[in-house]
C-alpha cells in the first residue's frame, strides 16, 4: 500500500549521488512542470509512483507483458549475466529482440508470459544488474487465475 502523502510524517534527509548531466536534465524537467515542485517533491513523487506500481503486481495470476531494457554491453560481464538470468527463466520468455543502438548501447525487448511472481522476479533480477541504464516492465493479468 502506498504511504500517506498528507505530510503528517516527519521528513528524513538523505543524499544521493547522480551524474551532473542527469541532475541538469532532471532539474529542467522539474522546471517544465511549472508548479511549485522542487527536487525533493519530485523525488517523493517518484518514490510514491514506484510504491503504487509495486502494489499493482499480481504474483498469483497468469500475466503477459514486455520488458524493455537499455544497457551498455561493455559493462563488465553484463552480457554473460543477462544471458545467465534469462536462461533461468526460459519458460517465461516467449521471445526476445536485440537491437544495437550504437557502439556501446543495446536495446533488448523480452515478451513474457507466466505466473506473475516469476515474471516480476525475472524483471527485478535483470533490471538490477549493473550496466542496465533503463528498463521498464509492462504487464497485464490474463483471465486465467493460478489460484488453485
Alpha carbon separation from 71 to 77, 88, 126, 127 (Å, rounded):
12, 20, 10, 10
Q: For residues 19 and 109, give the distance between their C-alpha atoms in angstroms, rounded to a whole number.
A: 26
Crossing angle of helices 116-127 and 78-88, rounded to 10°: 170
Give this prediction's pTM.
0.69
Identify the residue whose cell numbers are 510504491.
51
| CATH class in words for 61-145 | alpha beta
Adjacent-strand bridge partners of 93? 112
Tens-digit pLDDT string for the chain (148 aa): 445 555 568 889 999 998 999 899 988 888 888 766 788 888 888 887 777 666 567 777 899 999 999 999 999 899 999 999 999 999 999 999 999 999 999 999 999 999 999 999 999 999 999 999 999 999 888 865 444 3
Domain boundaries, the chain: 20-55, 61-145
| Residue burial 51-87, b: 16+ Cβ < 10 Å; e: rest | eeeeeebbeebbbebbbebebbbeeeebeebbeeebe
Residue 145 backbone phi and psi in degrees, to 5: -90, 145
CB 69 within 8 A of CB 134: yes
Amino acid at each position: 500500500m502506498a504511504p500517506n502523502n498528507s505530510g503528517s510524517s516527519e521528513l528524513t534527509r538523505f543524499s544521493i549521488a547522480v551524474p551532473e548531466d542527469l541532475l541538469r536534465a532532471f532539474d529542467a524537467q522539474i522546471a517544465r512542470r511549472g508548479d511549485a515542485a522542487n527536487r525533493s517533491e519530485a523525488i517523493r513523487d517518484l518514490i510514491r509512483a514506484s510504491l503504487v506500481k509495486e502494489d499493482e503486481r499480481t504474483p498469483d495470476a497468469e500475466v503477459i507483458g514486455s520488458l524493455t531494457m537499455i544497457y551498455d554491453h561493455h559493462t563488465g560481464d553484463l552480457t554473460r549475466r543477462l544471458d545467465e538470468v534469462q536462461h533461468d527463466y526460459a519458460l517465461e520468455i516467449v521471445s526476445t529482440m536485440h537491437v544495437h543502438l550504437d557502439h556501446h548501447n543495446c536495446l533488448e525487448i523480452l515478451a513474457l508470459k507466466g505466473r506473475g511472481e516469476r515474471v516480476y522476479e525475472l524483471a527485478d533480477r535483470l533490471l538490477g544488474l549493473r550496466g542496465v541504464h533503463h528498463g521498464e516492465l509492462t504487464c497485464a493479468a490474463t483471465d486465467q487465475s493460478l489460484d488453485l
